[in-house]
Structure 1
Amino acid sequence: MKTKIKVISCLMCFLLVSAPARPAEKAAALPILEIVKAVTKKVIKAIDIGIQRMQNKTIWLQNAQKQIENTLSKLKLNEISDWTKKQRDLYKDYYEELQKVKSIITYYQRIKEISIKQTRLIEEYERAWSLFKRDESFKVSELQYMEKVYDGILEESMKNIDQIFLIIDSFTTQMSDLKRLEIINKAADQIDLNYNDLRLFNQQKVLLSLQRAKTDADVNKVKQFYGIP
């Protein structure tokens, strides 16, 4: 996974450095955007597969648990104590594994929530940026500045994806639940911060466009353009 992250990071750097300079009004999607979108989709797909596997394992373990309970119900009271004593070590693994699997499913669902928030961030960026580029009230230099801000936010969100990969990998390594939960919470807090920063930045630019409107008719046009009630 470290190799994967390094490859992604190198690819990001290559695209950002090699991208030719161009006027902001003609700018295509930021190179890093395509990387973030592709990796986010891959993460969500991996999580869905992981959840499905864990759910299947849960069903199997629950069935095993029922079989144990059925066996116990058929035994006489004086046999139960002796039977459970002999089989305790053998069957306790089923119960422990079931709890472990349920915990992993909870982690996966939490990771998916973070990934979905990441997708919302991308969608919010694409929606706002497509409008700002067509807003004639903004100068080329202002659009170039916006592009740099968006680039920074997307780069930060890419770090969150690296954290998600780390969490997914942790299920096959010796990582404590406390450490895993710490990484999940950190990634969740960071993506919330990135998303809120993006929305605030977009709101400020829309407000700036409204302030530049000279007449009430212009204000109404700007509101209609940005879908403001």
Structure 2
Amino acid sequence: MKKFLIILLLCTSAAKAQIPIVGTVVKKVIKAIDLKIQRLQNETIWLQNAQKQIENTLSKLRLNEISNWTDKQQTLYSGYYKELWQIKAFISDYRRIKELAQKQTALVGQYQRAWSLFKGDKHFTVEELLHMQQVYSGILEASLKNLDELISIATAGRTQMSDAQRLELITKADDQLDENYNDLKQFNSQNQMLSLRRASDLNELQTLKNYYDLH
């Protein structure tokens, strides 16, 4: 019996030790997501500045009032318009991708809030908390992979894929992100309901509802 208790204590200690390890992995994922979002924001600003410069140049030239163009001038100014259109198309892509990145930031925020509540809830065992972290790690890893795909779409040359293809891939990434977000919400809800079912009386039940902001 004594030997069994020692083994049980060792297993419990090992499980407790694994929680901060998994938590460290999740923190790395969160940091990686933040860095990628920052890069997207910086590249969006660069594109917007490039658009402004081209538009200012076109405004100064007052192309509509120029008459008797030579073939060379027409080619030159046509190039300006083409470049401007391409940059605007890029910015449109970046805005959608930036919105998706912000969604992923919200997903991480949902995880952080839920985890801080669950680990302070006495109704969960160490093993259950460890399982939660494993599930959360999987969701966040999928979120990070999704963001990697978005960045590859944003940085791919426009000659490598059509606008329709880019739009299709962005929409697909959006759908995947919504799926990840819904999985997270469902998992959080299941854990909250499990805790409520373990309440010993009505007073504790109400305390838990307040704790999880359930009304």
Question: What TM-score comes out, normalization by structure 2 length?
Answer: 0.83
| CA gap 1:24/1:197 in 2 versus in 1, 3 angstroms | farther
Q: Does 1:22 align with 2:3?
A: no
| C-alpha distance in 2 between matches for 1:178 and 1:22 | 51
In structure 2, give the amino acid aligned to 1:68.
L
Query: Which residues in structure 2 correspond to 1:113-192 (within 5 Å)?
Result: 113-171=99-157, 174-192=160-178
2:4 aligns with none
2:37 aligns with 44
1:64 aligns with 57
| CA gap 1:44/1:179 in 2 versus in 1, 3 angstroms | same
Whether the 8 Å contact between 1:32 and 1:154 is mirrored in structure 2 is: no
Whether the 8 Å contact between 2:19 and 2:129 is mirrored in structure 1 is: no
| C-alpha distance in 2 between matches for 1:226 and 1:25 | 26
| C-alpha distance in 2 between matches for 1:67 and 1:190 | 45
For structure 1, which segment, 50-59 or 166-175, has the greater mean C-alpha deviation from structure 2 after superposition? 166-175
Task: Quote the RMSD (CA, aligned, Å).
Answer: 2.3
| C-alpha distance in 2 between matches for 1:117 and 1:161 | 10
Residue 124 of structure 1, CA deviation: 0.9
| C-alpha distance in 2 between matches for 1:92 and 1:72 | 12
Whether the 8 Å contact between 1:157 and 1:191 is mirrored in structure 2 is: yes
Deviations 1:134-177 (A, max 9, x none): 21112233223222211221221121122023123314873332
| CA gap 1:108/1:216 in 2 versus in 1, 3 angstroms | same
Find the partner of 2:198 among 192, 198, 212: 212
Question: What TM-score comes out, normalization by structure 1 length?
Answer: 0.79
Unaligned runs of at least 5 residues, structure 1: 1-20
Whether the 8 Å contact between 1:25 and 1:143 is mirrored in structure 2 is: no
| C-alpha distance in 1 between matches for 2:122 and 2:133 | 16
Residue 194 of structure 1, CA deviation: 0.5
Count of aligned residue pairs for this structure pair: 202
Whether the 8 Å contact between 2:47 and 2:91 is mirrored in structure 1 is: yes
| Identical positions, percent | 40
2:91 aligns with 105
Deviations 1:175-211 (A, max 9, x none): 3323322222222111111011101110111122112
Whether the 8 Å contact between 1:58 and 1:102 is mirrored in structure 2 is: yes
Unaligned runs of at least 5 residues, structure 2: 1-12
Aligned to 1:54, the other structure's residue is in SS state helix
| C-alpha distance in 2 between matches for 1:102 and 1:216 | 59
Whether the 8 Å contact between 1:44 and 1:115 is mirrored in structure 2 is: yes
Residue 102 of structure 1, CA deviation: 0.9
| C-alpha distance in 1 between matches for 2:107 and 2:114 | 11
In structure 2, give the amino acid aligned to 1:48.
Q
